[in-house]
Amino acid sequence: MGTSVASTRLLMIFRGLIVLQLAILVILTPLYGVYLDREAGGATEIAGSGTEPALLLHLSYEIVALILYLIAYVGLFFLRSWARIMLLIAVVVGWLEPFVTPDIYSYNSIEEVISTISDNIDGALIALVFASSVSAAFVRETWSPSAASARPGGQGSPRHPA
């Protein structure tokens, strides 16, 4: 098997893992919302949130982590170099969760299993984006005036003469 075939296959596996992670986010987020509401005894409504500052902090933390992961996974799928760092930041934010909100951090068994699988896939994604042939596929986005003028419709093009 040639190197390009192996790289293509590895890239397909990489993108499959990202799609799996996005599916896990879709599955785990509603489960987690039900858990938060159950733990708060219905105090997750706007009127009750002022009485539960720890719960509000935890919910805010989870929303930030969810957005970070979502942006990172979409960026990784499209092979954007910034997404590699974004994934590392999202993983570190996830690791800090039990320390930021220790009173609320507990999952039921199915959430814990899904979360553990997700953590393992994140580890595989980190290994793939930094220590495999997939890392060479990431595009570096740099902007320079000469690069902008070389693009269609940019300055120096027939539409915008220099």
Full domain range(s) for residue 87 = 3-150
159 domain-assigned: no
80 domain-assigned: yes
22 domain-assigned: yes
157 domain-assigned: no
Predicted pLDDT at 31: 65
- The Cα–Cα gap between 10 and 5 comes to 9
Compute the half-sphere exposure of residue 35: CA atoms within 13 Å on the CB side of its CA.
18
Residue-averaged pLDDT of the chain: 76
pLDDT at 149 exceeding the cut of 80: no
How many domains are there within the chain? 1
Please name the residues in contact with 2: beta carbons below 8 A apart, sequence gap of 6 or more.
none
Question: Who has greater pLDDT, 146 or 18?
Answer: 18
CA distances from 30 to 18, 105, 109, 123, 138 (A): 19, 16, 15, 24, 32
**Residue that the structure tokens 């799928």 belong to:** 77
| pLDDT tens-digit map of 57-112 | 777 888 888 899 999 999 999 999 999 999 999 999 988 887 876 666 556 677 77
CA 117 to mean position of chain CA atoms: 15
121 domain-assigned: yes
134 domain-assigned: yes
Q: Which two tokens stand for residue 160?
A: 């915008």
Q: Which two tokens stand for residue 109?
A: 């068994």
Predicted pLDDT at 46: 39
